[in-house]
């Protein structure tokens, strides 16, 4: 019998698996707590690294754990698993690389790092025969990476839909429920700790598109950089859009959406989207997350839970540590990633167009004429009672059309002289169960 492969970086059965923690913020503290209170079998916390570490010390960590602000103390230690919870691409990325290069396994919740450099880090890990796991980097409390690697490996996933950013979902659901304006909803979210002081990454969609890029790799086996994903901020949404959406049986969510186009290209977008109020996406309230997968054989499977926060994310991280400690192999004989021929956002869907105009006769006719020229069929025109004719909002919905064709028509319409503010167009995700 041939001598089997093994992971040289992993301890022999029966010995302890030593864990070093990089970063002692919210998630790092929560991870340390679990590792101290109920560690997975065989797992031992040995190092905690943080800048200004003397301010960070807590009394519930055993005396044997080494606190340090020198990364060399960790990288040169005999730690078996390095847990990176600092965030940001550098210096975290370089340190993860050095750890893997030294044959240490790495667990991280760093979405930007995995989204941008996951493929090369995974191949370094394979080469060095150690592990890289990142369950905490997407939808913290939802074990979506485990589900994809293990429970759904037998299927071919054709579509990923998700609400991946709790801050945007909190803002949009409070706008929907309370008729709150965007600015007010954002401010409330900041006061309650659901949004950062600088919320740019969240509301611009940069956070969600990094997570979608990771799901593109894990679910669709597609090699995509976050910057390739068409992304639109939720700042365009106003209270009046929720009122109109309600008339259409819909609400508005920041939806992350990716699918192969059947010809080697990939459609991928993160944008505010109309979804039916009865849909799984609409029912995700507050800062929750959801992932909806469509499989060729298994149909739709829905996962929802806490998107972020110390508790849920720390469970993901500790589960990864436990899995590595169980010597599970992930040097994948799984299919390699495919690079799409291109990545676009051309999902053909019905569209919601919101205009704010100085009212006068003939406006609908002008808009309808432009639509007709571009072969776009109008489905409905909606106008709610409104006190003034000087800035009158109304909505046009269209039958399914390609966004690029719509963009042409909207460019032409924008040049007309009755607009009080630029028109807003949103896709309507109403063709299916999700």
By CB under 8 A, residue 365 contacts a second copy = no
CB closer to a second copy, 112 vs 314:
314
193-202 in b/e burial notation, b at 16+ Cβ within 10 A?
Answer: ebbeeebebb
By CB under 8 A, residue 142 contacts a second copy = yes
By CB under 8 A, residue 143 contacts a second copy = yes
> How far is residue 345's CA from residue 224's CA, in Å, rounded to a whole number?
13
211 is catalytic: yes
> How far is residue 206's CA from residue 231's CA, in Å, rounded to a whole number?
8
Whether residue 40 contacts residue 14, with contact meaning beta carbons closer than 8 Å, is answered with no
Cβ neighbours, 10 Å, residue 9: 19
Cross-strand pairs, 228: none
Shortest Å, Cβ 394 to a second copy = 32
CB closer to a second copy, 169 vs 304:
304
By CB under 8 A, residue 333 contacts a second copy = yes
By CB under 8 A, residue 295 contacts a second copy = yes
CB closer to a second copy, 332 vs 414:
332
By CB under 8 A, residue 6 contacts a second copy = yes
Shortest Å, Cβ 137 to a second copy = 12
**344: three-class secondary structure by DSSP:** strand
Torsion of CA 151, 153, 157, 161, to 10 degrees: 40
Give the tokens for residue 155: 């299927």
- Of 75-83, 148-156, 255-263, 386-394: span binding a second copy (CB under 8 A): 148-156
Give the tokens for residue 98: 């050095």
Instruction: Report DSSP state, residue 337.
Output: P
Residue choice 82, 147, 213, 396 for contact with a second copy (CB under 8 A): 147
List the interface residues with a second copy, window 10-49 (CB under 8 A).
Answer: 12-13, 30, 34, 38, 40-42
329-356 in b/e burial notation, b at 16+ Cβ within 10 A?
Answer: ebeeeeeebeebeebbbebbbbbbbbbb
Residue choice 249, 298, 402, 423 for contact with a second copy (CB under 8 A): 298
> How far is residue 291's CA from residue 301's CA, in Å, rounded to a whole number?
8
The phi, psi pair for 43, rounded to 5°, reads: -100, 135
Shortest Å, Cβ 10 to a second copy = 9
Angle ∠(218,219,225) on CA atoms, nearest 5:
60
By CB under 8 A, residue 305 contacts a second copy = yes
Residue choice 121, 160, 195, 322 for contact with a second copy (CB under 8 A): 322
Among 56, 111, 211, 389, the one annotated catalytic: 211
Residue choice 36, 102, 146, 243 for contact with a second copy (CB under 8 A): 146
Which residues are the active-site residues?
A: 211
Site of interaction with a second copy (CB under 8 A):
1-6, 8, 12-13, 30, 34, 38, 40-42, 135, 141-147, 149-156, 280, 283, 295, 297-306, 311-312, 314-323, 325-330, 332-335
């Amino acid at each position: 019998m041939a001598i089997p492969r093994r992971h040289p970086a992993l301890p022999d059965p029966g010995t302890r698996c030593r864990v070093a923690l990089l970063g002692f913020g919210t998630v790092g503290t929560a991870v340390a707590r679990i590792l101290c209170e109920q560690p997975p079998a065989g797992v031992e916390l040995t190092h905690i690294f943080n800048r200004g570490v003397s301010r960070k010390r807590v009394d519930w960590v055993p005396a044997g754990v080494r606190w340090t602000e020198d990364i060399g103390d960790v990288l040169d230690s005999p730690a078996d698993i390095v847990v990176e919870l600092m965030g940001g691409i550098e210096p975290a990325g370089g340190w993860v690389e050095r750890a893997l290069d030294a044959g240490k396994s790495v667990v991280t919740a760093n979405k930007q790092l995995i989204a941008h450099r996951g493929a090369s880090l995974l191949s370094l890990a394979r080469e060095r025969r150690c592990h890289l796991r990142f369950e905490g980097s997407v939808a913290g409390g939802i074990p979506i990476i485990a589900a994809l690697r293990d429970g759904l490996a037998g299927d071919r996933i054709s579509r990923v839909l998700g609400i991946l950013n709790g801050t945007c979902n909190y803002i949009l659901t409070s706008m929907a429920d309370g008729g709150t304006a965007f600015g007010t909803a954002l401010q409330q979210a900041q006061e309650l700790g659901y949004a950062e002081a600088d919320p740019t990454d969240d509301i611009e969609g940069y956070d969600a598109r990094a997570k979608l890029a990771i799901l593109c790799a894990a679910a669709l086996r597609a090699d995509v950089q976050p910057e390739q994903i068409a992304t639109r901020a939720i700042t365009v949404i106003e209270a009046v859009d929720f009122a109109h959406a309600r008339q259409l049986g819909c609400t508005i969510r920041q939806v992350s959406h990716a699918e192969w186009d059947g010809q080697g290209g990939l459609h991928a977008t993160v944008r505010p989207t109309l979804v039916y109020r009865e849909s799984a996406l609409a029912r995700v309230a507050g800062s929750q997350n959801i992932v909806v997968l469509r499989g060729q054989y298994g149909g739709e499977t829905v996962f929802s839970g806490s998107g972020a926060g110390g508790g849920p994310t720390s469970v993901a991280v500790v589960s990864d540590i436990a899995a590595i400690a169980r010597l599970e192999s992930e040097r994948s004989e799984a299919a390699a990633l495919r690079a799409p021929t291109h990545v676009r956002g051309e999902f053909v869907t019905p569209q919601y167009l919101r205009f704010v105009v100085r009212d006068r006769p003939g406006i609908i006719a002008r808009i309808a004429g432009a639509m007709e020229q571009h072969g776009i069929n109008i489905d409905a025109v909606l106008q709610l009672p409104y006190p003034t004719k000087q800035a009158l909002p109304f909505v046009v919905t269209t039958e399914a059309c390609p966004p690029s064709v719509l963009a042409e028509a909207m460019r032409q319409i924008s040049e007309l002289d009755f607009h009080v503010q630029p028109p807003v167009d949103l896709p309507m995700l109403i063709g299916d169960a999700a």
